[in-house]
Amino acid sequence: MQDPFLSTAVCRLGLAAMVMAAGLVPVQAEDASPWAADAYSQVRLIAGTNRARQPTLRAGLDIKLKPGWKTYWRYPGDSGVPPHFDFGASRNVKAVDVLWPAPKRFADEGGQSIGYHDRVIMPLRVVPKDPAQPVMLDLTLNYAVCEKLCVPAEATARLGVGPAASAHDAALAAAEARVPRPAGIGGAGALAIRAVRRQGTDQRPRILVDVAAPKNVPVDLFAEGPTPDWALPLPEPKGAAAPGLQQFSLELDGLPAGARPKGAELTLTLVAGTEAIEVKTRLD
């Protein structure tokens, strides 16, 4: 007579072998991965509170920097390296959208750069291939951290994301609130890009940008070209354009070989205190 306990054990082992062979290793949902640390920074993945079968999951990339050090935005400015995210080893992940909180401008010996200091959480929108199955985020992050000199860095982090409560909802919500909201030219709000116009010559083209912003709040403007090989300089503040408006000037320099300003789409990010907007504009 067959031992029922032995039979059950064999069945369990067989099932486990089939699960592992199919790559379906169980994933346990957590709210944070361990910190991946080096001498100047720490990196981890965090999750928000997510429900079962949710079509898009909330998560975030949490970067802590040593005091006095910074890391870069998606467009780093005159110098620096933007971070590169590789989620290719993730399981049951169709897409990961990285959201960028409003950055700051930094001036140093290498010119002006754009990025973050102290700490930044980049919200992530994770789309599962199958919302009914668990998700494993597996990230390899290549980035740079800088004080007086820049140091390349690499970090890896893995996090199971699924239906579970999280202690990081407030931190994620604060980071999401810092992501520039889409807007159009000519908006009537307290923070708006009211006008964009071309000036200068064919040899030295530039654009002038008139912006509205709340009083007594630091205002800054960043510009990106249609492709990453557009190395535009940072817009320069020019003071008052008209009552209630401030003006920035942007030299259309650093274009890739063969590129022309006419018809190109620029992305303008206007930051005032804790608010920010993002505007797409096509040059005439």
Give per-residue pLDDT as tens, 134-156. 999 999 999 999 998 899 999 99
Q: Does the pLDDT value for residue 111 go beyond 50? A: yes
For position 228, what pLDDT does the model report? 93
CATH class of 36-178: mainly beta
Q: How far is CA 149 from each of CA 69, 144, 245, rounded to the nearest angstrom? A: 10, 10, 37
* Residue 79: predicted pLDDT: 86
Residue 236: per-residue pLDDT:
97
Q: State residue 113's pLDDT score.
A: 95
Q: Where do the structural domains in the chain lie, given as residue ranges?
A: 36-178, 182-282
CA distance 135 to 235: 41
The yes-or-no verdict on residue 210 having pLDDT over 60 is yes
Query: What pLDDT does 188 receive?
Result: 84
Q: Do domains 36-178 and 182-282 have the same CATH topology?
A: yes
Is the domain defined by 182-282 classed in CATH 2.60.40? yes
Judged against a pLDDT cut of 50, whether residue 215 lies above it is answered with yes
Cβ pair 93, 162 in contact under 8 A:
no
Q: How confident is the model at residue 279 (pLDDT cuts 50, 70, 90)?
A: very high
pLDDT digits (tens, 9 = 90+) for 21-80: 444 445 567 899 999 999 999 999 999 999 999 999 999 999 999 999 999 999 999 988
